[in-house]
Structure 1
Amino acid sequence: MKRMKKVAALLLAVVMLASTAACSSDKSWAAKNDSLTVPIGSYIYELYAAYYSASSQTGDTAAGSASSQAAESSVLDRKIDGKDAKTWIREKALNSTKSLFVIDRKMKDLKLTLTDAEKASIKTNTDSSWANYKSTLEGYGIAESSYQLAAAEYSAKYQKVFQATYGKSGAKAVPDDELKSFFEKNYTDFSYVLCKLYKTDSSGNYSASFTDSEKKKAEAEFNDYASKISAGTMTLQQAADAYKSVDSTISVQNDTANLKTNLQGYPDDLVKLLDGMKAGETKAAEISSGYLYILATKNDIAKKTADEMKTDDGRNNLLADYKGQEFSDEISKEADSISGVTINEKAIDSYDPSMFAAEK
């Protein structure tokens, strides 16, 4: 009898060992807890996104080009934030994967759920972008469902948690007065007309630079316009109309932007020009390394506040600009220290960032 018990115990141990071995060799998932299992495809997508984030941070333009060796050398052989690129990419991908659990947990804590309309929007957005990325992502072993979880679904939940945190009734709700103050201190409202200091062909493409005399003539006209606008004898629109005899495509452009972050990518010399101007002031100046001459009027930003705040979209966009980085940092920090999540180290370690360097 005792012998039978020993044999049974030994067989049970063998079965348990086989079960454990099978589990440890399962590379279908990257991480999981008691309510969410993140498939390995979602991690690969995060690794892919981190690779190209590293590419942009190193200023690399070769990634994804025909020369995979040049791409790998320019991205993976560099350092980012004091770390070798491979380490940085892996850490960022893992942090992004853990962030899926952070947002999922916050959705539950805040008692938030996705509506049927939001779920439909997630599917629509996924299908739309998947059509463009399918061949590339499937080549790396990323299924559409994994892409949806890491991209559109995460984004929808992220925005929902953000609004529940900083929105009007959120735990860290931002008062209107505070948001207005941020807008007026950080944003610039301006109108401008651009003069090309070069010639174009029939298709509108660059053909030749202005001669010195042509350049001086254009600059003189724009400086004259600036003087007249400052004196109140001409408007910016009238200046544009006056220059149409030279360039029929010229027009007045208007923008309200946070030039401190300058996500729109305006030339540095334009940002510096506007920063040194007072509301109501008009100036003309050469920008973009001598390719353009600009006539710009800086408007009173306070007059734009009501327009920016009157719609939900406007207020939400401003709120995202104000608190977006703070929220992102918080999610990343929580992801680094999250508990109760099992990481499938064997699965994620089997994927190396260099796999993306060969993309053409």
Structure 2
Amino acid sequence: MMKRFAKGAVALLLAIALCFSLAGCYDENLTWAAKKGDTELPVGAYIYYLSVAYNEAAAQIGTDAEVLKGEVEGQPADEWIRERAKAYVTQYFWMNDEMARLGLEMTDADYAQALQNTTSYWTYFGSVFEDYGVAQSSFDIAYSQYNVMYLKVFEALYSEGGERAVPETDIRDYLEQNYYSYEYFTAPLTTKAEDESTVEMTDEEKAALKEKLESAKKDILSGKTTVSDAANDYALEIETDSTYQVGINDREGMESSYMPTDFIDTLEAMKEEDVEVFEASDYMVLLRRLPIKDSEDEILTSHDSRLNLLVEMKNDEFQTSVREAAQGAEGVELNQKAVNRYKPSMFTDTTKNGTSSVPEESSESSAEESEDSSESSAE
């Protein structure tokens, strides 16, 4: 029923950064970056976090080759990057502890989900990761497994019965204020010439098409027909398949799906039950806005859709709370000898060549990807 509900969004907090470590002689004492109790974080995970911090600094400074000559939040970039990377390490251990506090654990399915996400990324970036010294297993821990833990903790806290549970009325209000339900079909502004080539409609043909769709609009508004039936009738007339579509989305989701701006703007200006006929991206469109309340129950009975809404509503708050809570975490032993081997300067080429990461994106896509990935990383 739903063409696209969740943002495909949802790029993740720690984007893939083209970075990582320098090769060196093997030393078992240098293979781990930090530990707490029985949990040990490999040095490759630290290198990954260092690369993410570097890319965050580059994004804020707005330069590439001169990143390390700049400042971030009043600090020299080099110093800020190192502290940021260490903060990510601490957050990893804090998230482990929070899992235990909430009675959560990583299941075999969770590990498999994380590995699936890692394998997907590794297909494209694995050789770069390995060139800098980050093993697939290290990335799986620092990025993919952390993502799974993040979303599990988030859901435990913000879902019904959680310590920060969001009232049902707030979720429904958010949905009604931000999302649109709609149905439509399109008619191309082209015709077939005698030689079967596609040609643009003349102004007269466009006017005739609009008149036809305006007539269908009147029948829809009067209850004589439906958008779906009107789409089928038009498809039969021009001997093609129906282009009827339904959707539930917000503006950002429609933009990320490359919906035409004319379509989005028209939909936003409409009232529920309105029908409009307009041109958008070489098509004539007949669009009806539907009452979002009619779909609320179906949306909110879907685990993934409900979680997506919670992530959209509360992820920024949660990211901030994780960052602040991790600052007070105790018992993390940092392997300074290993950490000191890796400097932010090792990543300068990743910005010189024009590549970049998007380290501060929200984690809205993660709930959508909870079947194959998960939530934000280290923020």
1:181 corresponds to: 173
Report the CA distance shift for 1:193/1:356 in structure 2 as closer, same or farther (over 3 A): same
Alignment check: 8 A CA contact 1:186 1:260 kept: no
Q: Distance in 1 between matches of 2:294 and 2:70?
A: 47
Q: In the alignment, which residue of structure 2 is the partner of 1:44? A: 47
Per the alignment, residue 247 of structure 2 pairs with 255
Per-residue displacement from partner, 1:173-223 (whole Å, max 9, x unpaired)? 2233332232223221111213344689xxxxxx87655445444444333
Match for residue 309 of structure 1? Answer: 300
What is the match of residue 326 of structure 1? 317
Q: Does 1:300 align with 2:275?
A: no
Query: Which residue is 1:228 aligned to?
Result: 219
1:237 aligns with 2:232: no
Closer, same or farther: CA 118–260 of 1 in aligned 2, 3 Å: closer
| Aligned-partner residue type, residue 322 of structure 2 | I
Shift of the alpha carbon at 1:285?
A: 2.1
Aligned position for 2:100: 108
SS in 2 for 1:142: coil
Aligned counterpart for 1:347 among listed residues 341, 346, 349: 341
Q: Show CA shifts across 1:246-276 (max 9, x none).
A: 4724421111113366574444433322222
Aligned to 1:347, the other structure's residue is in SS state: coil
- Does the 8 Å contact 2:51/2:344 carry over to 1? no
Residue 270 of structure 2 corresponds to 277
Distance in 2 (CA, whole Å) between partners of 1:83 and 1:235 is 62
Which of 148, 151, 158 aligns to 1:166? It is: 158
Instruction: Work out the percentage of aligned pairs sharing the same amino acid.
Output: 28
Aligned match for 2:132, one of 135, 140, 157: 140
Over 3 Å counting, the alpha-carbon distance change for 1:218 and 1:96 in structure 2 is: farther
- Write the letter of the residue equivalent to 2:243: S
Q: Which stretch of structure 1 is more off in the superposition, 115-124 or 105-114?
A: 115-124
> Which structure carries more helix by proportion?
1
Are the equivalent residues in 2 in contact too, given 1:283–1:296 (CA < 8 A)?
yes
Task: Report the alpha carbon displacement of residue 346 of structure 1 after superposing the two structures with TM.
Answer: 2.0
Indicate the residue corresponding to 2:91 in structure 1.
Answer: 99
In structure 2, relative to structure 1, the CA distance for the partners of 1:123 and 1:239 (3 Å cut) is same
Structure 2 SS opposite 1:122: helix
Q: Mean alpha-carbon deviation: is it higher for 107-116 or for 42-51?
A: 42-51
Amino acid at match of 2:282: Y
Measured in 2, the distance between the counterparts of 1:100 and 1:291 equals: 49
Code of the aligned partner of 1:275:
E
CA distance in 2 between counterparts of 1:139 and 1:208 reads 52
**Match of 1:251, SS?**
coil
Give the TM-score, by structure 2 length.
0.67
1:288-316 per-position Cα deviation (integer Å, ceiling 9, x unaligned): xx434322111111111111122333332
Cα contact 2:274–2:288 (8 A) shared by 1: yes
Stretches of structure 2 lacking an aligned partner (at least 5 in a row)? 1-27, 193-197, 356-379
**CA distance in 1 between partners of 2:77 and 2:217 (Å):** 49
Residues 150-159 or 126-135, more deviating? 126-135
* Cα separation, partners in 2 of 1:43 and 1:213, compared to 1, 3 Å: farther
CA distance in 1, matches of 2:242, 2:82: 48
Find the counterpart in structure 1 of residue 374 from structure 2. none
* Structure-2 change in CA distance of 1:37 and 1:237 (3 Å): same
Residue 281 of structure 1 deviates from its aligned partner by 1.1
Cα displacement (A) at 1:339: 5.1
- Farther-moved stretch of structure 1 (294-303 vs 259-268): 259-268
The answer as to whether partners of 1:42 and 1:146 remain within 8 angstroms in 2 is yes
Q: How many residues align?
A: 319
SS of residue paired to 1:112: coil
Is the Cα–Cα contact under 8 Å of residues 280 and 297 in structure 1 kept in the other structure? yes
Assess, with a 3 A threshold, how the Cα gap between structure 1 residues 133 and 284 changes in structure 2: closer, same or farther.
Answer: same
Aligned-residue offset at 1:233? 2.9
Q: 2:273 is paired with a residue of what secondary structure?
A: coil
Larger Rg: 1
Two-structure CA RMSD over aligned residues (Å):
4.3
Q: How do 1:144-155 and structure 2 match up within 5 A?
A: 144-155=136-147
Distance 1:282 1:348 in 2: 60
Distance 1:100 1:351 in 2: 24
For structure 1, which segment, 111-120 or 273-282, has the greater mean C-alpha deviation from structure 2 after superposition?
Answer: 111-120
Q: Structure 1: how far apart are the matches of 2:296 and 2:201? A: 40
Structure 1 stretch displaced more, 267-276 or 278-287: 267-276
- Structure-1-length-normalised TM-score: 0.70
